Amino acid sequence: MSDPFSVRDRVVIVTGASSGLGAQFARALHRSGAQVVAIARRKDRLDELAAECPGLEGRALDVTDDEGCAALVADVLAAHGRVDGLVNNAGMGHPTPAISESLEEFRRVLDVNLTSVFHLARLVAPSMIERRHGSIVNIASIYGLGSTYPIGDASYTSSKAAVVNLTRDLAGQWGKHGVRVNAIAPGFFRSEMAEELFTNDKVHQRITLATPMRRTGEPGELDGALLFLLSDASSFVTGQTIAVDGGWTTH
């Protein structure tokens, strides 16, 4: 293998690609030569991303639209003949004390953060199984490995913890078919959803003091883990969750 980390010419679907980590993942894959199909709800943001990354395909889609997701995967297979990788990044959260969070809100978060991950993984799996090759990367969170104390966000932590175990179970089911399923658990990286953690000085200081590396993540510091998991460099790695968090989960 001349470059085991190469993803050149691989067809990779990235969800939640209109901003934050998803947009960063799409850029990193595009720079590395992958054929990226970027999915998000905001078409204007996808158009901006496509202008920045010539050749990138953008498609406006809500990941909770079951029929839309099925049509998307069918279109990608028709256009490219395969799906080599799926990055399940779309997610949401709204820190709320459990006593105040409605059942409707809780279910909505699980639908976006968990059910869509299962649905899209199941949609791409048959073609990967047929080719005996494919890599699915689910974006979990360090909050899927512990609580949000003292903030409080039961729906988010529940959904991300479930993503960790869904990753293990799908890896167990599909490993014999050559399909790998892994997860990345990011620590604190700046994004629209996490903006308050960075603009509130007291919160930001508390985070950095609790992180062994004494800082939050910089743009691009998740790229290495992503490219590793989508490439042949991780050909014998499946069912794992890699925390990229500056050491947050060491305590």
Catalytic residues: 156
Distance separating alpha carbons of residues 181 and 70, to the nearest angstrom: 20
Structure token pair of residue 50: 């496509």
156 membership: H or E segment, kind and range: helix 154-174
Q: Count the neighbouring beta carbons within 10 Å of the beta carbon of residue 117.
A: 28
Distance separating alpha carbons of residues 179 and 22, to the nearest angstrom: 22
- Computed from CA positions of residues 199, 101, 117, 183, in that sequence, does the dihedral angle turn out positive or negative? positive
Task: Spell out the alpha helix ranges (H) of 111-147.
Answer: 116-131
How many secondary structure helices (H) and strands (E) does the chain include? 9, 7
CA dist 146 → 90, 153, 178, 205 (Å):
20, 11, 31, 20
Which amino acid appears at position 214 of this protein?
R
